[in-house]
Structure 1
Amino acid sequence: MANHSKELSPEQSQELIQTLKTRFEKNMNSHLGLEWASVQAKLEAHPDKLWSLHEMERTGGEPDVVEHDATIGEYVFYDCSAESPKGRRSVCYDREALESRKEHKPQTSAIEMAAAMGIELLTEEQYRKLQMLGNFDLKTSSWVVTPASIRKLGGALFCDRRYDTVFVYHNGAESYYAARGFRGLLRV
């Protein structure tokens, strides 16, 4: 069940930090030149961000550091699970799409769920950057930020990897599938 207070207990915080540290150390190729101690200090200074990372983890995202902006000291975590996070599938794109469905509505939308978690959907460019770190979404697909011009016409974009190639597709924003979720990012 979601923690609606947006605060973790000290035990939850320590457990999550240990999980993130283990993942960070296992995937050093994703963040060359970075040290975990600096990331951990930043996380401990921003417990609200720790809660969002917990939500990413809870829903199957396996967040890990993939970017660092040294000029502002910001670390960026992406969902790095092999497939689109299991706890974020079967959602349409946004509230407008959800409301347009006459029947068989999903529980929520990708945009709303991301906002509730305090994260952002990946853009196409960020999705492609993630794919440079490994092979993701070989069996699933993930909604990505859709340009307003496409969304205005009723569409939305999603990506996946097939045939060793990253593809960007379109679908009606109101569509949802058991194998389509969304990947997010969090700036700390």
Structure 2
Amino acid sequence: MDESHQQLNAAQTSAQLALLHRRFETTQTHFPDVAWQDIALALQQQTTALWSLAQMEASDGEPSVFAYDADKGLLWFGDAAAESPKVRRSLCYDEAALHARKQHPPQGSAMEQAAAMGVSLMNSEQYQVLQQLWPCDLKTSSWLATPDAIRRLGGALFGNRRYDTVFVYHNGADSYYAARGFRCVLSLKIDLISY
């Protein structure tokens, strides 16, 4: 997609930043070394990242900061919605699985939709970190980024939370369910200048 289309106007930018700020305030105790001013500045400088977060928001992901890597200077946003985003469900894992499915194919794939939003699927390690902050997928499940070795054999990973435990399972990549969507992640390069 042309990057000129991956921009928010001034009103959209202000609204998205305000929403992200409110969410960050509820979890800032987990990231004591990071100030909102630094996040806002980075998002204003990396406008395609802000556009991607708006796409996550528009598809009911409720993106929020869930991890920070001080050594790499990366802040991670992830879908913090309580259940797998409803408008991202009933999708198979990727395009190869979609084309391989001969009967009753779904409308699309998780990987294709994530790419169109400018984000990646959350991997199993990130999913575990997210679940420590916000227990989620208690009724649904979410496709997760799958290692190539598993995908080459036709499988794909998904996760959920049951019995107060986070599970990561496998399924055929061409399967799809009304209660399974996908969770996204987006990394943001950030310079800490407020301290």
What range is the shorter-chain TM-score in? over 0.9
Does structure 2 conserve the Cα–Cα contact (< 8 Å) formed by 1:156 and 1:172? yes
Counterpart of 1:52 in 2: which secondary structure? helix
Moved over 4 A (4+): none
Matched, 1:82 2:82: yes
Counterpart of 1:43 in structure 2 is: 43
User: 1:22 deviation in Å?
Assistant: 0.8
Distance 2:133 2:10 in 1: 32
Counterpart of 1:65 in structure 2 is: 65
Matched, 1:145 2:145: yes
Letter in 2 for 1:139: K
1:132-164 residue CA offsets vs partner (Å, 9 max, x unmatched): 112110001011111222111111110000001
Does structure 2 conserve the Cα–Cα contact (< 8 Å) formed by 1:30 and 1:65? no
- Give the TM-score of the pair, scaled to structure 1: 0.93
Counterpart of 1:27 in 2: which secondary structure? helix
Distance 2:72 2:126 in 1: 19
Counterpart of 2:167 in structure 1 is: 167
User: 1:30 deviation in Å?
Assistant: 4.1
Matched, 1:120 2:120: yes
Task: Using the TM superposition, name which of 156-165 and 81-90 deviates more.
Answer: 81-90
Task: Using the TM superposition, name which of 17-26 and 66-75 deviates more.
Answer: 66-75
Matched, 1:155 2:151: no
Distance 1:41 1:76 in 2: 15
1:98-133 residue CA offsets vs partner (Å, 9 max, x unmatched): 001113221211111111111111111111111111
1:77-116 residue CA offsets vs partner (Å, 9 max, x unmatched): 0111111112211110000100011132212111111111
How many corresponding residue pairs? 185
Distance 1:52 1:174 in 2: 26
Does structure 1 conserve the Cα–Cα contact (< 8 Å) formed by 2:80 and 2:134? no
The Cα RMSD (Å) is 1.4
Distance 1:29 1:96 in 2: 42
Counterpart of 1:99 in 2: which secondary structure? helix
Letter in 1 for 2:86: K
- CA gap 1:74/1:82 in 2 versus in 1, 3 angstroms: same
1:64-89 residue CA offsets vs partner (Å, 9 max, x unmatched): 11122233432110111111112211
- CA gap 1:136/1:32 in 2 versus in 1, 3 angstroms: farther
User: 1:9 deviation in Å?
Assistant: 1.0
Distance 1:83 1:11 in 2: 28
Gaps of 5+ in 1: none
Distance 2:142 2:120 in 1: 13
